[in-house]
């Protein structure tokens, strides 16, 4: 047993010697041993490599040899030793110089070694060249700063583009309406004052002009509400969907023959969102349902919800003209239509607007249909946005 313990101690000693040798040969760290006053008593290969002095050149020099004149004048070498003495270990980063004067970023750990009486026996001074790391950090910071600048510049650009768009839609709103009103107005004058002089074809042509001015007026209005809706921030309130749907249907049926429609409205759960925006969604979906069923002998529209594991999915189902799912990708596009103007009138903005609004609420909208067999549109708005 005794033998084996000795053997273990012996082994430990050897390990430590090996470790020490590795340490001395280690080129990444400059390991200097200083006496209690700060004079260099030994240093390793790493120190030679990092500082560029030979052992003969540096032994017995004071550690202040590696400090700049300014640091020496401030008493920093003494202060560092004092800090190490008081705290046992003192670490700092500084700029050190190689023998040829090349500066490098250094991380230095100064450790005090105490003798048996608690006095300072020596110091270990371990320095690492962290220039590469520092350079990377600086480059990183520079890149971050540049990125921030870029984001700022881009945000500013976007604000300008937004302003321009606002000016554009203002201009569209004003400048397109004015000539349109002239076309409509003068056609009307022609009709009022000269209708008796026109034959049937002349009257027909005049009516086509008038119908088209009405159509273009609607297009401009839809386009404007579309661009406006895109600019507006949605407010979030609790919305009574039943009330909104009732009022939409009431408004929509003013223009229609009410009795012909069979409209079923199931109770709808409340929702959180922007009331005027979501009203627009209902107007467009229910409006479409009424429009595309108008040519059926028994037009039916159903409004309700499906509970999909806590998600309230609202739907509007009709038995109208429907559409071919082949063209589904066009369905929500701006100015996209799946029916001809002489079949069903429209501007091609209704569903695009509905989608824009639902997206603004982080929700989803989709539809399914087949030609002649009606269409169903679904949307849901997340409860917490």
Partner 1 sequence: MNNNLNEVEILLVEDNLSDAELIIRSLKKVNLANHLVHVKDGVEALEFIFATGVYAGREQKNIPKVILLDIKMPRINGIEVLRQIKSNEVTKAIPVVIMTSSKEEKDIIVSYKLGVNSFVVKPVDFNSFAKAVSELGMYWVLINQPPLK
Minimal distance in Å, beta carbon 240 to partner 1? 26
Using CB under 8 A, which residues numbered 213 to 252 contact partner 1?
213-214, 216-217, 220, 224
Contacts of 220 (CB under 8 A, 6+ apart): 172, 173, 176, 177, 180
Options 69, 174, 254, 310; binder of partner 1; rule CB under 8 A: 174
Options 131, 173, 240, 242; binder of partner 1; rule CB under 8 A: 173
Say whether residue 19 binds partner 1 (CB under 8 A): no
Q: Which of 217, 382 has the CB closer to partner 1?
A: 217
Say whether residue 181 binds partner 1 (CB under 8 A): yes
Say whether residue 194 binds partner 1 (CB under 8 A): no
Options 178, 197, 238, 309; binder of partner 1; rule CB under 8 A: 178
Options 85, 177, 272, 339; binder of partner 1; rule CB under 8 A: 177
Options 22, 182, 205, 306; binder of partner 1; rule CB under 8 A: 182
Lateral strand order in the sheet of 89-97? 40-43, 29-35, 120-129, 103-114, 89-97
Minimal distance in Å, beta carbon 233 to partner 1? 14
Which segments of the chain are extended strands (E)? 29-35, 40-43, 89-97, 103-114, 120-129, 237-239, 262-265, 271-273, 300-308, 311-318, 364-369, 375-380
Say whether residue 265 binds partner 1 (CB under 8 A): no
Residue 316, phi then psi, degrees to nearest 5? -125, 120
Say whether residue 189 binds partner 1 (CB under 8 A): yes
Report CA Rg, the chain.
42
Residue 313, phi then psi, degrees to nearest 5? -100, 120
Minimal distance in Å, beta carbon 169 to partner 1? 9
Which positions from 196 to 215 touch partner 1 by CB under 8 A, shown as an x/- string?
A: -----------------xx-
Query: Distance (Å, rounded) from C-alpha 287 to C-alpha 280?
Result: 10
Contacts of 345 (CB under 8 A, 6+ apart): 215, 291
Using CB under 8 A, which residues numbered 77 to 96 contact partner 1?
none
Query: Distance (Å, rounded) from C-alpha 203 to C-alpha 111?
Result: 105
Q: 66 with 97: CB under 8 angstroms?
A: yes
Query: Distance (Å, rounded) from C-alpha 179 to C-alpha 323?
Result: 36
# residues near partner 1 by CB under 8 A: 22
Minimal distance in Å, beta carbon 357 to partner 1? 18
Binding site for partner 1 (CB under 8 A): 170, 173-175, 177-182, 184-189, 213-214, 216-217, 220, 224
């Amino acid at each position: 047993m005794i033998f084996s313990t000795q053997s273990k101690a012996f082994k430990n000693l050897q390990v430590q010697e090996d470790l020490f040798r590795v340490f001395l040969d280690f080129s990444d760290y400059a390991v200097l041993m200083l006496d209690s006053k700060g004079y260099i008593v030994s240093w390793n290969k790493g120190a030679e490599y990092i500082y560029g002095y030979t052992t003969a050149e540096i032994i017995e020099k004071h550690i202040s040899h590696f400090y700049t004149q300014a640091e020496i004048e401030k008493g920093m070498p003494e202060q560092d030793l004092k800090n190490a003495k008081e705290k046992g270990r003192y670490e700092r980063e500084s700029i050190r110089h190689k023998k040829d004067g090349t500066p490098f970023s250094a991380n230095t750990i100064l450790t005090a070694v105490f003798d048996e009486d608690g006095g300072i026996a020596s110091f270990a001074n371990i320095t690492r060249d962290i220039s590469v790391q520092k350079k990377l950090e600086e480059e990183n910071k520079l890149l971050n700063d540049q990125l921030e600048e870029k984001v700022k510049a881009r945000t500013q650009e976007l604000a300008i583009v937004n302003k321009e768009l606002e000016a554009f839609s203002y201009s569209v709103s004003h400048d397109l309406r004015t000539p349109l009103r002239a076309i409509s107005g003068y056609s009307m004058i022609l009709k009022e004052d000269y209708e008796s002089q026109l034959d049937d074809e002349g009257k027909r042509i005049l009516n086509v002009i008038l119908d088209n001015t009405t159509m273009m007026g609607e297009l401009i209005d839809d386009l404007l509400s579309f661009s406006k809706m895109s600019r507006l921030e949605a407010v979030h309130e609790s919305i009574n969907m039943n009330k909104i749907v009732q009022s939409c249907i009431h408004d929509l049926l003013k223009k229609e023959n009410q009795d012909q429609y069979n409209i079923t409205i199931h109770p709808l759960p409340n929702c959180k969102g922007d009331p005027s925006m979501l009203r627009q969604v209902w107007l467009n979906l229910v409006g479409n349902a009424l429009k595309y069923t108008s040519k059926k002998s028994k037009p039916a529209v159903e409004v309700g919800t499906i509970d999909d594991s806590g998600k309230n999915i609202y739907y509007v189902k009709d038995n109208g003209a429907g559409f071919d799912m082949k063209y589904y990708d066009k369905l929500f596009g701006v100015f996209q239509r799946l029916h001809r103007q002489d079949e069903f009138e429209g501007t091609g903005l209704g569903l695009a607007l509905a989608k824009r609004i639902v997206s603004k609420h982080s929700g989803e909208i989709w539809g399914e249909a087949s030609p002649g067999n009606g269409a169903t549109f679904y949307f849901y708005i997340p409860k917490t946005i």
